Structure 1
């Protein structure tokens, strides 16, 4: 697969972020997108060696559109110059949590995992409850040799511990969170050796798996809100 084609197209789109250029170069998009899906397929196979729950999806089922929703944004650029995918047990749905890949030229790419979406109040409450009730298990995940040297848990956070939770809890800071996720950045050059990148990405995702397992146990039974 040609990862240089992916980076080249996205770089050009970033420089020409308008509908006229995009439609005039639709074939280039299709070729670059095909390369991204090929990369994604190989990554799925590699992740499947330690997490078989994600093996049953086709790459096109896991990717996100590059068209931006600009209705409520000051930035009116119509496209996000990035290829993105969420490789999860239920495809690209944010719950259960899975493995996130974003390729954005200029060394803005990263591998991610966890619950990125902080707008689901039920999901947030379920994770808070599980952290509150299982502090040792949370400790074991965060401070393991496989996880701690590589990741720092991030997330949207409240100023104070929400009511109903112990303000003196050993993980009070995490109880303020509305989302819990990790990111591992990589550079454009890391994509040049595709086989090496896929092996390294799978290794990083494997290090995330206990973090995912914890969150998915907390989120057991969660149902995505239905659209009206």
Structure 2
């Protein structure tokens, strides 16, 4: 498995972000995408040992296209020079929470949690669950292995929303509209594929209780009713 090939291709795409170059170098894309798919398959096999629901999905259907939607963006470059995948029991949909991996030169990371802040029902469910299970939330985010790597991120309101106690011990997190964590991955880490897979799987194990808390909070989500 040649993960360096992925970064090499993405670096060239970043420097030549136009449709002409992309189509002229389609074989290079296919080779890099093939290596990324091998990585996805390897991660699925390892994560599936503890979370078998991940194995329900075809690896290729969990990845994202390079093409960007430029309709509402000032940046009109047609491609996002990044290979991305979301691994969860629900596949690519944001619920249930899973593991999001993005490989891009100088900005690769592994993440978990609820990234999107546009789902009002899920936002309310998450706030309600944190408010009712504050000690459990604290146990997850203050766990030594978790807190040594992560700080919970997410877009947030300036104030605690109406209907919630402003003095609640978890008031800081009740302001949030999304709750996620990110683990940066250096370009050099991709030099050794086996080591990269091992490290990624270990970080996923640390993220897992965080995802599990979120998934309990979102147990009644419309995304799950549709699946």
Normalising by structure 2, we get a TM-score of 0.97
Per-residue deviation, 1:225: 10
Equivalence for 2:187: 188
Between the aligned partners of 1:4 and 1:145, the Cα distance in structure 2 is 32
Superimposed CA distance per residue, residues 96-127 of structure 1 (whole angstroms, 9 cap, x where no aligned partner): 00001000012x10000000010000000000
How far apart, CA to CA, are the structure 1 residues paired with 2:224 and 2:184?
A: 31
Aligned to 2:101, the other structure's residue is in SS state: strand
Unaligned runs of 5+ in 2: none
Question: Which residue does the alignment assign to 1:159?
Answer: 158
Q: Aligned pair 1:34/2:34, yes or no?
A: yes
Q: Which residue of 2 is the match for residue 91 of structure 1?
A: 91
The SS at the match of 2:144 is coil
Residue 53 of structure 2: aligned partner? 53
In structure 2, what is the Cα distance between the partners aligned to 1:101 and 1:218?
23
Alignment of 1:1-228 (within 5 A): 1-106=1-106, 108-224=107-223
- Greater helix content: 2
Give distance in 1, aligned partners of 2:129 and 2:224. 21
CA–CA separation in structure 1 for the residues paired with 2:2 and 2:98: 25
In 2, Cα distance between the equivalents of 1:204 and 1:126?
26
In 1, distance between residues paired with 2:49 and 2:205? 10
- In structure 2, the CA distance between the partners of 1:2 and 1:114, relative to structure 1 (3 Å rule), is same
The aligned length equals 225
The Cα of 1:5 is off from its aligned counterpart by 1.1
8 Å CA contact retained: 1:10, 1:81: yes
CA deviations over 1:154-211 (Å, ceiling 9, x no partner) = 0010111110000000011100100000000011110111001101100000000000
Which secondary structure state, in structure 1, belongs to the residue aligned with residue 222 of structure 2?
coil
Distance across 2 between alignment mates of 1:59 and 1:157: 33
Contact kept? 2:95, 2:224, Cα under 8 Å = no
| Farther-moved stretch of structure 1 (40-49 vs 201-210) | 40-49
- Kept after mapping to 2: 8 A contact 1:50/1:206: no
Q: Return the alpha-carbon distance in structure 1 between the equivalents of residues 75 and 166 of structure 2.
A: 39
Moved segments of 4+, more than 4 Å: none
Q: CA RMSD in A?
A: 1.3
Q: Distance in 2 between matches of 1:225 and 1:56?
A: 15
